[in-house]
Every structure is written in structure tokens, then in C-alpha cells.
Amino acid sequence: MAAIRVFLLTYRRPHLLRRALASLRAQTFRDWICELHNDDPTDDNPRQLLAEIADPRFTLHQHATNWGPVATFNHAYAAGPEAFASILEDDNWWEPEFLITAHAVLLATPHANVVWANLRIWQEQADGNWQDTARTIWATAPAEQCPRLFYWPQPLQFSDGLHSNGAMLYRAAASASALVPANTPFAIIEPTRERLLAGAWLLLPQVLAHFAVTLRTSRSPDRALWSQSQLLVAASYLAAIPASADELAGHWHHLRGQRPSGTNLLFQLALAGIRTRDLLSNARPADWLRFLAGAVRHPLLLRNALRFRFAHPEVWAKLRDGAIARSRENLAASPNPAIWEKRLLP
């Protein structure tokens, strides 16, 4: 049996799939097998690519019907008999040392169930070329090598996720607990998973993979769904965390720094009856003006956003209960929160 099962996921991007395949085959860690999942029943390109390389470590899983990204990711987290598993999406690619580094770190850290690496961000151009943005997902020093250990909760998890799907390795024995409801908005699949999968999480600060910002995305353009998704994540955090006044002020500071500003999320939480007085006490006149102007322009969008718990009852229950369970679990394991690494921004 191999040490790692890799799930390579593709959908109508054979020109990108070739790059991802090459990066997997170039890994210095060789003890892996790969399930290549093609989610387009009519596309024969993945089969042809596997026939070209003739590598027996690959098996093609040609979906008879379109599963969609959430079901495909759930299959990967159900994993297989191997001790470890990983996901490689067709638009991303790995450095040759990714698997060997991630595998060694997880072996050396038995209380961690997930390790992920920093990624360099590339932007797809209209002519098909790729521009190096010179940015990474996490702002780390070039010489930084020591993994960072995270326990739930981190302030960043209030409105975002810590890890990235594009470069992670996880223990198969634990990952089955991270299957998300079938109707989970894909935009929040990462923060949802972080509320479900127990144990510590490890960040490899060195850049060991590459994240592609493509011109086309599977994320929904529905603005109401995006607002509901953000509220599901933030409300579940506050349901589990007795956030202090200082931490709430930190969320205002963080969201004000986004472009465009993200402070409308905090007003929406307050209108939904979640920590209303505490949240609104940090609002500035400019925040109020921005929120009220948006509410006047888009009243139906606001109304639909505030229905997030009723529109997604199964997802809401999973997020809330998972967040509460992780809080109890990590408090019991580490009763002194001072040892939990606190980093508001990557």
C-alpha cells in the first residue's frame, strides 16, 4: 500500500491539468498513488493524458454524471486505506519538495491532522499566459522554515479560513469527520472544514506550491449567497467563542482594511441579533454611512442575507456545532489559551 493517496480533480481544463500532472510526477516523494477525477462526463482529454504518461500510479475516475465541487471534495476527504491523503486541483501545481516536506512534518507531529504549505499567487492573462504576482497567500519571511502550529480558534477564522485546498496533506483517519453538507456554498468549504476536523493544524511557511487565479471560477456570482456564506462563517464563530471587546475591535480593524471594506458583515450580524450591542459599539460614522447607503440601494440583498440560518439550516447547524465542539476540545487539550498562536492576518 502506498503512503499517500492523491486526489487530482479536474473539470474542462486539459491545458492546466497537464501542468498539475507534471508537478505531481516530479515529487521527490515517490510513494503515492493518484485518483484522477474527471467531473465532465463528455471530456476525453484526461484519459488521453494518462495514456500518454503511462504511469501505473494513476487511475482515472470518469464521472458518469457531474458531481460538482462539493461532492468531489467530500469524496477526497472520505479518503482511502492509505494513512495520508492530499488534494491537487487541476489549476494549481506543486514544488517537487511539497509531499516529502508535508509528510515528514505530519509524521513528527502526531497531534496534528492537517499540514498545508504557503502558495505563490499567479494570475491568468487573457492570452493564456500566467503572471507572477510576487505575492503569497501568507506573508512570511523568505528564510522562515519552522512550521506554525494552530489550534482553533484563531481570529482569522472569524471571517476566513486558515488553510488552502491547493497544497495540503491530511490524515485519512481524521478527515472523514470533515465531510460537509451537500449544499454547502463552495466559497466557504475551507472554513467549514476547519470547524469539523479536530486536532492541530500546521502551516509550512515556505512556498511549496502555486495558486492559480483563473479567469473563470466555480464560485457562484450570486451576491446574496456570498453574503449568506460570510454570515454563516462569522456567526458560527461567535456562537462558539466568547470574543472579548478587544477581539471584536480587531475584527472591525481587519475588515475596514479590506478593499472594498468588509464591515457590512458586522452590521448584518448585529441585525441578525448576534452580539448586537457589542458589535455596534465599534462602528464609526463612515462605517454607518457605507452600510446605510448599501442597504438603501440593495434592500432585497440585505433581507436575503439576513435569512442565512433559514436558507441553509443544515450548513448552519454543522458550522455552529462543529465550532462549539472544536472550542471544547481545544480548551480541554490546552487550558491556557496563551499558548495558542494568535495571528489576525496572514
**pLDDT > 80? residue 291:** yes
- Name the amino acid, one letter, at 135: R
- Could you give all domains of the chain from N- to C-terminal order, each with its CATH number? 4-213 (3.90.550.10), 223-311 (no CATH)
62, 47 in Cβ contact below 8 A? yes
Pairing relationship of beta strands 200-213 and 58-62 according to DSSP bridges: unpaired
Is residue 341 predicted with pLDDT exceeding 50?
A: no
Tell me the per-residue pLDDT of 72-107, one tens digit each, with 9 for 90 and over.
999 999 999 999 999 999 999 999 999 999 999 999
Query: ∠288-289-293 over CA atoms, to 5°?
Result: 115
Q: What percent of the chain has pLDDT over 70?
A: 94
Q: Would the pTM of this model clear 0.85, i.e. be above it?
A: yes
Q: Tell me what pLDDT residue 345 has.
A: 32
Contacts of 332 (CB under 8 A, 6+ apart): none
Under the banding of pLDDT at 50, 70 and 90, the label for residue 339 is very low
| pLDDT tens profile 163-190 | 988 899 999 999 999 999 999 999 999 9
Average pLDDT over every residue of 252-258: 94
Sorted by sequence, the CB contacts under 8 Å of residue 41 that are 6+ apart come out as 62, 63, 64, 65, 66
Tell me the mean pLDDT in the region 314-325.
96
Whether the CB-CB separation of 40 and 12 falls below 8 Å is answered with: yes
pLDDT value at 330 more than 80: no
What pLDDT score does 68 carry? Answer: 95
Q: Report residue 171 CA to chain centroid gap.
A: 16
pLDDT reported for residue 215: 81
Per-chain mean pLDDT for the chain:
92
Q: Please give the Cα distance from 274 to 231 (Å, whole number).
A: 10
Give residue 202's identity as a one-letter amino acid code: L
pLDDT tens figures, 194-228: 999 999 999 999 999 999 998 876 666 788 999 99
CA 30 to chain centre: 26
